[in-house]
Structure 1
């Protein structure tokens, strides 16, 4: 499993619109083969900062399956105009996990 992590800095004053559009856009990412789940979390210290966490079966599911799909174009149209600056997206694999 691969965890995609993106810190999203949303233009100030656009947070409510972003959250609304993100919920709608979630249908597109969740329809991709290899997608497992995702969550959006809002920063406590910075009102306009969010973190997107997406679990994928493998890196290819995100980099090829999603990013080359027509669903990605819809995702991009709905969300990319909210970001300033544009987010860096990184991928992580689990080294250790404690579920207690």
Structure 2
């Protein structure tokens, strides 16, 4: 499994609109092959900063399957105009894991 991580700095006056648009965009990403789960969290200290965490079965599911799809164009049109600056997206793989169970 791959974890996609993006820190999203949203234009301050547009944070509310971004959250609404993200709800629509969530259905798009959630329908993609190889998608596992995602979460969006808002920063406490910087109110217009968010972190997006998306779990994919493979790196290719994100970089090719999603990013080269028509659905990505819909995602882009819904969200990309909110970013300032445009986010860097990184991918991570598990090295160690601990569960509270």
TM normalised by structure 2 equals 0.98
Report the alpha carbon displacement of residue 14 of structure 1 after superposing the two structures with TM. Answer: 0.6
Aligned length: 100
Q: Which residue of 2 aligns with 1:48?
A: 48
Structure 1 stretches (4+) deviating beyond 3 angstroms?
Answer: none
Report the alpha carbon displacement of residue 32 of structure 1 after superposing the two structures with TM. Answer: 0.7
Gaps of 5+ in 2: none
Hey, what's the Cα distance between the residues in 1 that align with 2:41 and 2:94?
Answer: 20
TM normalised by structure 1 equals 0.99
Q: Which residue of 2 aligns with 1:24?
A: 24
Over the residues paired in the alignment, what is the CA RMSD in angstroms?
Answer: 0.4
Gaps of 5+ in 1: none
Q: Could you list the per-position Cα deviations for residues 28-78 of structure 1 after superposition, in whole angstroms to 9, with x for gaps in the alignment?
A: 111110000000000000010000000000000000000000110000000
Report the alpha carbon displacement of residue 13 of structure 1 after superposing the two structures with TM. Answer: 1.1
